[in-house]
């Protein structure tokens, strides 16, 4: 994986492929219990889990051409502010946008900016025609991010553990393409 593979550049961000050097930033974001409250099962990730994630991401780049990416500050490209990507959790057929930011970057509109860039990338560079996003029903901040990025509400989805996710969807025609 190379820091030189840039996926998108926005007004404030550079979105690039993950690099093994991103491990410390991953631990900062995914080791923060408050940040993880809305991610997956809510558990923080260990260093070993971050290493495994880097391996899975490298395989996703080889197989699909996309996966999780680092978001860096355009004015300080070595400063990772969060992570975003297009993934297929549990081998689901539709690509899903996922994101998490470090605490210091919350509330600045960076997630919306990054989501808009990544969906354009998925549609334009990979020929994707539809992208979904899932959130906890009570995660109002992510609902706002997704709506601002052009997603619309879809049917809720039941999880294996009996909980429900809100599902949002965007088609390539809804992405300003």
Higher pLDDT, 114 or 53: 114
Q: 6-174 has which CATH code? A: 3.40.630.30
Q: Judge whether 87 and 60 are in contact, CB under 8 Å.
A: yes
**What angle, 0 to 180 degrees and rounded to 10, lies between the N-to-C axes of helices 23-30 and 47-64?**
110
Burial label, 10 (beta-carbon count in 10 A; 0-12, 13-18, 19+): middle
Does 145 have pLDDT greater than 70?
yes
**Would you state the pLDDT for residue 50?**
86
- Cα separation, 32 vs 44, whole angstroms: 6
Write down the residue that tokens 């999780």 correspond to.
Answer: 68
What's the whole-number average pLDDT of the chain?
88
Output the pTM of the full model.
0.89
Q: Sketch the domain layout of the chain as residue ranges.
A: 6-174
| Overall average pLDDT of the 31-39 stretch | 72
Q: Which of 23-27, 92-96, 128-132, 152-156 has the highest mean pLDDT?
A: 128-132
């Amino acid at each position: 994986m190379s820091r030189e593979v840039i996926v998108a550049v926005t007004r404030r961000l550079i979105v690039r492929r993950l690099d093994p050097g991103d491990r410390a930033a991953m631990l900062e974001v995914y080791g923060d219990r408050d940040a993880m409250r809305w991610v997956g099962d809510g558990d923080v990730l260990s260093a070993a889990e971050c290493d495994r994630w880097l391996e899975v991401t490298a395989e996703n780049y080889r197989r699909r051409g996309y996966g999780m990416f680092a978001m860096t500050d355009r004015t300080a490209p070595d400063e990772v502010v969060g992570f975003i990507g297009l993934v297929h959790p549990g081998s689901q057929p539709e690509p899903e946008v996922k994101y998490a930011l470090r605490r210091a970057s919350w509330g600045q509109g960076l997630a919306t900016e990054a989501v808009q860039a990544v969906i354009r990338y998925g549609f334009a560079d990979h020929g994707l025609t539809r992208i979904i996003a899932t959130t906890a029903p009570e995660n109002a901040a992510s609902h706002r991010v997704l709506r601002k990025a052009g997603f619309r509400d879809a049917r809720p989805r039941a999880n294996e553990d009996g909980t429900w996710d809100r599902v949002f969807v965007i088609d390539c025609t809804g992405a300003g393409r």
